[in-house]
Amino acid sequence: MSAGPVVLLGPTASGKSTLAMEIAKGGDGIEIVAVDSMQVYRGMDIGTAKPTAADQAAVRHHGIDLAAPSEDFTVTRYRAAFDDAMATIQQRDGVALLVAGTGLYLRAVTDRLVMPGRWPNVRAELEADPDTAALHTQLAQLDAVAAARMEPNNRRRIVRALEVTLGSGRPFSSFGAGLTTYPSTQFRFIGLDVDPAELRSRIAARLDAMLAAGLVAEVEGLAARMSRTARQALGYRELLAHLDGETSLDEAIDLIRRRTVTFARRQRAWFRRDPRVEWRKPVEVAPLVLGDWGRCHAPSTRDSATRS
């Protein structure tokens, strides 16, 4: 009998995807499930560090390319796609290797969080107000806890929090009570322990590689058909502002780099709160996971399995 699913988690640029490919190629029947709120969008490939076409051909991937960039994707919709993927993997007698960078999405699928509903009329009124700072002030008056958890310029999160608070009649933060508890689970959480200085270096190098691969052109090609949710993606938001003439390219790149470092710090803080996470040096992880699963085999076996 195969072991339960493993979650590789950690901040952006910590090497999760590369390590996941190493594990999947070194074992039998291992399929990768991306838990990322922006890799769900088709066409947003370079800026989200989506698995390459070659990686997807070598190992089955799930959780990516689920929606057009013009759609406002939701965590509820992701959970439905995740459940379908897990059922499919189980039918093949495979094992799921989750690669998680979006903490809320991960908690939603592993701990089955109850998500707030939708109030389209309330949201439409909020969206009509262009003053994001004023909306954040309104949220602070209604739900100080929620307001303190988000940046004053993060319009998408602010509008969502206000939508739920006004529509449901209860603070948005009250729906997050489940985030403070960490129940037992079938999933094994392994966090990649990367030194902060090394992570900053990796972030800078990855951004340079993305720009060399054509990130600006990718954003330019998508700009006219991106939803408000997709436009908030790190890297895309800053380059969209540049394309609109609000900043120079150098200013946009510098802002991406600084915001990515801040984002990585927040991701690390989120995951560090979960006592279920085993923190390991990246070099330790592949032998540990493959050994526990008992799915190691010779490369030739993997090659034939991939072609079938």
Quote the pLDDT of residue 178: 66
Q: What angle do CA 80, 184, 93 make, to 5 degrees?
A: 55
Please tell me the class of the 120-178 domain. Answer: mainly alpha
Task: Write down the residue that tokens 């070659």 correspond to.
Answer: 54
Strand, coil or helix: 297: coil
Task: Tell me the residue ranges of DSSP E strands in 114-154.
Answer: none
Q: What angle do CA 266, 269, 272 make, to 5 degrees?
A: 150
pLDDT at 306 over 50: no
Quick check: do 6-111+182-307 and 120-178 share a fold? no
- What type of residue sits at position 308? S
pLDDT at 177 over 60: no
Yes or no: domain 6-111+182-307 corresponds to CATH 3.30.365.10: no
Please state the domain extents for the chain. 6-111+182-307, 120-178
Per-range mean pLDDT, top range of 104-118, 147-161, 263-277: 263-277
Quote the pLDDT of residue 1: 34
Report the distance separating Cα 235 and Cα 43, nearest Å: 14
Query: What proportion of the chain, given as a percentage, has pLDDT over 70?
Result: 94
Contact present, 240 and 231 (Cβ < 8 Å): yes
Q: How confident is the model at residue 190 (pLDDT cuts 50, 70, 90)?
A: very high
What's the mean per-residue pLDDT of the chain? 92
Mean pLDDT throughout 251-274?
96
Q: How confident is the model at residue 295 (pLDDT cuts 50, 70, 90)?
A: low
Q: How confident is the model at residue 304 (pLDDT cuts 50, 70, 90)?
A: very low
